[in-house]
Amino acid sequence: MDVPAGEIVTFALAIASAGVVAGLLAGLFGIGGGAVLVPVFYQVFGLLGVDEAVAMHLSVGSSLAIIVPTSLRSCRAHFLRGAVDMALLRSFVFAVPAGVVAASLVTAVISDAGLRAIFAAIIFLIGIKLIFNRTGWTIANELPGNPVRSIVGFVIGFLSTLIGIGGGILNNTFMTLFGRPMHQAVATSSGVGVLISIPGFLGYVWAGWGAPQLPPGSTGFVNWIAVALVIPITLAVAPLGVRIAHALDKRHLEISFGLFAVFVAGRFFWSLI
């Protein structure tokens, strides 16, 4: 790929900056930062001449690989504070990875345009949810038992894997709608991110194994060059996000991130025209 050195440096700085934001989001909202990383990776891969047939798949797979250490560190930090709902997390141990496996099977056959459309639709809904969210919105005061809980876990794993996120925003919504405090939801979501990201990135490696259009440094739909640039930054920044999460009213940040999500969704929808 014949790209001037100055542009490569610019792209690397853009990815590194996204890593800072992703690490903060991991601790702050209990999410892995994929909503930031996926669109940045997609733009970078496109500008570097990566084949459009695999660019979106690479973006999502690489995001999931980065979420592995980020979510592990974020979960550990929240666990040490005693904030993780381990009972809920244990009840998700099979349901969430089952959704991840199902999404990996879909990934192996879906087109790049189809994956972009799914990403845009889900990110748009997430953005709207964040913008208009109200802490008082509840369905009940207790989380549902099985089979509802398992179905929810499956859906969280499935949708999160398709778009390369850690499942935090989906699990946060589920828990807060059933009366759980936001701090506990955020903390538990970091554990859900572990259940999604580990089988998720392995699924994307499998789904893209042997694809002929992959750029250098890729194993299946995971590009290790992008991963290596971002992981150290997210690991360093995630604990700061955790400290902010336990000390800050996040409403303004939710609105800002919601607007960002709507903008990103619009950008992806436009690319499909």
- pLDDT range class, residue 31, cuts 50, 70, 90: low
Name the residue type at position 8. I
Its pTM stands at 0.84
Outline where the chain has alpha helix (H): 5-29, 34-47, 52-80, 86-91, 95-107, 112-132, 148-163, 168-177, 182-207, 224-245, 251-271
Q: Is the peptide bond before 232 cis (omega within 30 degrees of 0)?
A: no
CA distance 166 to 182: 17
CA distance 55 to 230: 18
| Per-residue pLDDT tens over the stretch 89-120 | 999 999 999 999 999 999 999 999 999 999 99
- pLDDT range class, residue 176, cuts 50, 70, 90: confident
Report which of 63, 18, 80, 71 is spatially closest to residue 238, judged by C-alpha positions: 71
CA distance 267 to 54: 18
Per-residue confidence (pLDDT) for residue 2, from 0 to 100: 56
Name the residue type at position 114. G
Per-residue confidence (pLDDT) for residue 257, from 0 to 100: 75
For residue 208, pLDDT over 90 is answered with yes
For residue 153, pLDDT over 90 is answered with yes
Please enumerate in sequence order all residues whose Cβ is within 8 A of that of 34, keeping only pairs 6 or more positions apart, or say none: 22, 60, 63, 64, 67, 160, 163, 164, 165, 166
Mean pLDDT of the 220-241 span: 86
For residue 248, pLDDT over 70 is answered with no
Per-residue confidence (pLDDT) for residue 45, from 0 to 100: 85
- pLDDT range class, residue 33, cuts 50, 70, 90: confident
Higher pLDDT, 79 or 2: 79
Count of positions (residues) in the chain: 273
15-43 in b/e burial notation, b at 16+ Cβ within 10 A? Answer: beebbbbbbbbbbbbbbbbbbbbbbbbbb
- Kindly report the average pLDDT of the chain as a whole number: 86
Higher pLDDT, 131 or 7: 131
**Burial class of residue 163, CB neighbours in 10 A (0-12, 13-18, 19+):** buried
| Per-residue pLDDT tens over the stretch 64-82 | 999 898 889 888 888 898 8
Mean pLDDT of the 165-178 span: 87
Per-residue confidence (pLDDT) for residue 119, from 0 to 100: 93
Per-residue confidence (pLDDT) for residue 95, from 0 to 100: 97
At CA 71, angle to CA 70 and CA 74, rounded to 5?
85
Percent of the chain exceeding pLDDT 70 equals 91
For residue 26, pLDDT over 80 is answered with no
CA distance 121 to 7: 31
For residue 18, pLDDT over 90 is answered with no
Q: At what angle do helices 34-47 and 224-245 cross, to 10 degrees?
A: 150
Mean pLDDT of the 14-22 span: 76
- Is 104 within 8 Å of 203 (Cβ atoms)? yes
At CA 42, angle to CA 7 and CA 241, rounded to 5?
95
CA distance 126 to 131: 9
Mean pLDDT of the 171-193 span: 88
Which stretch of 12-21, 171-180, 230-239 has the lowest confidence by average pLDDT?
Answer: 12-21
